[in-house]
Amino acid sequence: MREIVLPQLAMGMSEGTIVEWCVAEGDRIERDAPLVSIETEKVVVEIPAPYEGFVHIITAVDKTVPVDTLIAQITSTKDEYKQLIGSGSGETAVASAEEDVVIKGEATPPDASPGVASGPVTGRIKASGLAKRIAGDEGIELASITGTGPGGRIVRRDVENAIEVRKSIPVSVPTSIVSGSTPARREKGRIPLTGMRGAIAERMMQAKLNAAQTYVFFEIDVTKLLLARETMLSREDELGTRVSMTALYTKALALACQHVPICNATLEGDEITVWDNVDVSVAVAMPGKGDYDSGLLVPVLRNVETKNVLQISRELKNLVNQARAGKLSTAEMSDHTVTLSSTAGLSTPGSWLVSAPILNMPAVMAFQPGTPKRTPVVTDDDQIIVRDILPCGLTFDHRAVDGGPIGDFTRKITDLLSNPELMLL
């Protein structure tokens, strides 16, 4: 008999939640076949079975347990499994992977087709935790769905099929609207504060409540930087990549952090750790199903100080594509030393938009460049010239960093972005 414990999927992870068991209690599983989906504070990760055999489930769906907690056992033979269950020597925190929901009414006919059930269901409905969560998010009753999983369990695909069926049904117009009477407010949608949205909410509140966040706003003349990028764009085929402004900002951020090491630090407990390598977490917007349920991921680009702009640009594009395809691992979003969160593209043409980012703890600093704007500038000899001015916001944790080092940092990153040739030295 082999024991399966909740793995530590990333440094700093202390607990995880069972989202869905991919097999039913007592099922036989092949090695490397999907066993269980686990949700950390950042992502849902599917864990494969490390052994083949018969599965005895210990931890129920939707339960949150500490790392290294026993969550399942796998026996080599069916007889060994029966002995484990019959003898009571195995853990018995949960009898099966499904959570039953009691529904009153008449039973669905046994010949009902998969997807939406043809009538009310009686008794207990077996549904995976992930299926229940999706159904709850979409406002679909489990009683209306026929399960196609092991033992008739409702699984994710069943709920998704039901969603598609619902979309094909015409929506009737409320009588109040037809009659011209004043309608009540109409709900467009609900977004549960769970999963990615819940993790974002928790981390943002932790940062606001636990860090001494202090803000700095400043401007940088990036006229030469934009000209240099135009040259890079004209040679895109030769360079093999389209160099992004984010790549240029990331390189400058790394070099400025090397110049002022305390800005490349993390604070955990009562200890500040200053890091030699600069690992930059880059905020990536995640589109949702509609225009009101977007998300945010922060993949980490490692050892930025050792890479040139072309390498940074290629790696950033790869990380962004992986993030939006849902293929980032927890390790690729962990253990950063500083954060870049750009508002470029959010402002309308000609407008001026910059804000102060919330710290992505435990890092002690976050840098937020805005969108460059053509601006009249008065020179030292009282001449008026037009320059490209970049508004910037910066947040730092005053528990770890004082104003002096932040002044040094802003001067250094201003010098680098005003004179991009310095990033080649």
Position 182 scores a pLDDT of: 59
Which sign, positive or negative, has the C-alpha torsion 136, 139, 141, 146? negative
Could you tell me if 242 and 343 lie in one domain?
yes
Give the β-pairing of 265-268 and 295-297. Answer: unpaired
Whole-angstrom distance, CA of residue 55 vs CA of residue 96: 10
Residue 413 lies in a domain: yes
Three-state SS letters, 241-308: CCCCHHHHHHHHHHHHHHHCHHHCEEEECCEEEECCCCCEEECEEECCCCCCCCEEECCEECCHHHCC
Domain boundary among 56, 87, 118: 87
Could you tell me if 290 and 395 lie in one domain?
yes
Could you tell me if 127 and 77 lie in one domain?
no
Position 89 scores a pLDDT of: 52
* CATH number, position 151: 4.10.320.10
Could you tell me if 39 and 150 lie in one domain?
no
* CATH number, position 336: 3.30.559.10
Provide the residue type at 81 as one letter: Y
Whole-angstrom distance, CA of residue 284 vs CA of residue 291: 16
Classify residue 424 by its DSSP letter: G
Residue 253 lies in a domain: yes
pLDDT digits (tens, 9 = 90+) for 1-56: 899 998 877 656 778 888 889 899 999 999 888 899 888 766 778 888 999 999 99
Whole-angstrom distance, CA of residue 127 vs CA of residue 99: 6
Question: What are the backbone angles phi and psi of residue 188, rounded to the nearest 5°?
Answer: -90, -35
pLDDT digits (tens, 9 = 90+) for 209-236: 888 999 999 999 999 999 999 999 999 9
Question: What are the backbone angles phi and psi of residue 322, rounded to the nearest 5°?
Answer: -65, -40
Q: Domain count of the chain?
A: 3
Domain boundary among 23, 55, 87: 87
Range of the domain at 130: 102-167
Could you tell me if 161 and 241 lie in one domain?
no
pLDDT digits (tens, 9 = 90+) for 233-262: 999 999 999 999 999 999 999 999 999 999
> Nearest to residue 401, comparing CAs of 368, 362, 365, 359?
365
* CATH number, position 20: 2.40.50.100
Q: Does the structure show a pLDDT above 50 at 116?
A: no
Position 170 scores a pLDDT of: 64
pLDDT band, very low/low/confident/very high, at 356 (cuts 50, 70, 90): confident
Whole-angstrom distance, CA of residue 179 vs CA of residue 171: 17
Could you tell me if 115 and 203 lie in one domain?
no
Residue 179 lies in a domain: no
Q: Which has the higher per-residue pLDDT, 61 or 398?
A: 398
Cβ-contact 135, 142 below 8 angstroms = yes
Burial class (CB in 10 A: 0-12, 13-18, 19+), 371: buried
Residue 188 lies in a domain: no
Could you tell me if 222 and 289 lie in one domain?
yes
Residue 229 lies in a domain: yes
SS3 53: strand
Whole-angstrom distance, CA of residue 164 vs CA of residue 366: 42
Whole-angstrom distance, CA of residue 153 vs CA of residue 93: 20
Q: What pTM did the predictor assign? A: 0.61
Q: Does the structure show a pLDDT above 80 at 281?
A: yes
> Nearest to residue 17, comparing CAs of 195, 150, 204, 154?
195
- Residue listed under structure tokens 């029966």: 82
Residue 18 lies in a domain: yes
Could you tell me if 284 and 386 lie in one domain?
yes
Could you tell me if 294 and 335 lie in one domain?
yes
Could you tell me if 144 and 56 lie in one domain?
no
Residue 349 lies in a domain: yes
SS3 387: strand
Residue 12 lies in a domain: yes
Domain boundary among 38, 54, 87: 87
Position 195 scores a pLDDT of: 66
Could you tell me if 158 and 203 lie in one domain?
no
Could you tell me if 145 and 8 lie in one domain?
no
